[in-house]
Structure 1
């Protein structure tokens, strides 16, 4: 290859890199670290989670019912932090780890079947806050948190949501508040899909009760449709 050909090849490569960078501003950066640190800077506490590994989970639990969808440590509630230095250290030490965010501190999360989530997105319009697709089956709607009300009767622990394996038993709407957690994009879902933001975390957090009303209606609509379909099929 002569000098002219080498120059031409370098020019073509440089042109390709510029096109990639224009099409994908995140090209050449650690997108995983960027996405996790973005939410940390918003004040969302995070900690490392297990990740799907071959046909199972990276944890040492035999037959883990929720591969890659739970924190690494049983002490995750005290471990979750907004310390950028600590989170950066985790990102570097555990390059394959998923990450979760503890709910009930900076935000709550309403977790619904994806079909209901799509209906709610249309109904809420500009009122919707951050929304993430969690695998092929669930949408996560991030809202303002109920926090710790003065009247403790207005608060309930999220024991159900602390155990991901209960999802099959309770597949409808779930409210993740104090004592719970959810996966964050770009975590890898057991389905093989990567979590993604439908609306980014920089979007203002809406009132949870307003979102709850819309999601409840959407879940009812999806449930009624599913029931009608089973009846038509003679099930």
Structure 2
């Protein structure tokens, strides 16, 4: 990305380098992993165990898993998801290789965009003084902006469930922003992906307060519009598996 856009130069270049060369420390080892998971739970993100890489495949027993290492291990993940510290500690210690998902639409939503669009939008948001919450990058080409959930309206007919955004089979028709709300999830850092050294990691950690999603939406949709056609791997997105 250019160090100069929108009429801004030196400051923007420094911000870009700071954001994407400096990540919050994600300490190696089980202790560091557990601490990061507990920090996410303490911030109100409900967690549940997920599959993990087994070589270049998935640890689950599903033949040809369409979302390897990116899905919950239990069909009951929505009711299983919790912020309870003791339960997360037990999961982390008894399943040392497991990834974890966070269920959206309870406390938080996630705005999921192509990586380059997300990086551009994040720089603009911060430069414009907009409050940005936790942000994670996935090495398969996506960026996750964690926000407050839109809540459950009294009239269920007004609810726009996550499934109305797109299904895995229609992702090519929706190359930009995906809004994970009720009925969806994303991997929460630290998570490992199939491949050599691929991961999901924090750019801005869960210590940042969750913002209103509408405060980010215009920047994200504008950036996505400029990056249409740049995604390379739609099949790698984290979407609920419907069996």
TM-score range relative to shorter protein: 0.7 to 0.9
Counterparts in 2 of 1:165 and 1:203: CA distance versus 1, 3 Å: farther
SS in 2 for 1:133: strand
**Candidates 190, 198, 207, aligned match of 1:202:** 207
* Structure 1 unaligned blocks of 5 or more: 1-23, 227-235
Residue 81 (structure 1) aligns with: 82
Question: How far apart are residue 187 of structure 1 and its match?
Answer: 0.4
Q: Deviations over 1:19-43 (max 9, x none)?
A: xxxxx79577711101101111122
After TM superposition, the structure 1 stretch with the greater mean CA deviation from structure 2, 185-194 or 124-133, is 185-194
Residue 190 (structure 2) aligns with: 186
CA distance in 2, matches of 1:161, 1:93: 35
Residue 114 (structure 1) aligns with: 115
Q: Deviations over 1:155-199 (max 9, x none)?
A: 212126796676556432100001110001110123441211111
SS in 1 for 2:179: strand
Number of aligned residue pairs: give it: 203
SS in 2 for 1:47: strand
SS in 1 for 2:90: helix
Matches within 5 A, 1:51-66: 51-66=52-67
CA distance in 2, matches of 1:224, 1:213: 19
Residue 41 (structure 1) aligns with: 42
Counterparts in 2 of 1:25 and 1:120: CA distance versus 1, 3 Å: closer
Question: How far apart are residue 210 of structure 1 and its match?
Answer: 1.8
| TM-score normalized by the length of structure 1 | 0.78
CA distance in 1, matches of 2:47, 2:72: 10
CA distance in 2, matches of 1:161, 1:213: 17
Residue 135 (structure 1) aligns with: 139
After TM superposition, the structure 1 stretch with the greater mean CA deviation from structure 2, 62-71 or 190-199, is 190-199
CA distance in 2, matches of 1:225, 1:59: 30
Counterparts in 2 of 1:180 and 1:25: CA distance versus 1, 3 Å: closer
Larger Cα Rg: Structure 1 or Structure 2? 1
SS in 2 for 1:59: coil
| TM-score normalized by the length of structure 2 | 0.76
Higher helix share: 1
CA distance in 1, matches of 2:50, 2:167: 14
Residue 158 (structure 2) aligns with: 154
CA distance in 2, matches of 1:196, 1:137: 12
Contact (CA 8 Å) 1:160, 1:166: kept in 2 or not?
no
* Structure 2 unaligned blocks of 5 or more: 1-24, 232-243
Counterparts in 2 of 1:162 and 1:104: CA distance versus 1, 3 Å: farther
Q: Whose RCO is larger (CA < 8 A, sep 6+)?
A: 2
CA distance in 1, matches of 2:158, 2:123: 30
Q: Deviations over 1:80-128 (max 9, x none)?
A: 1111111111111100000000001111000000011011111110422
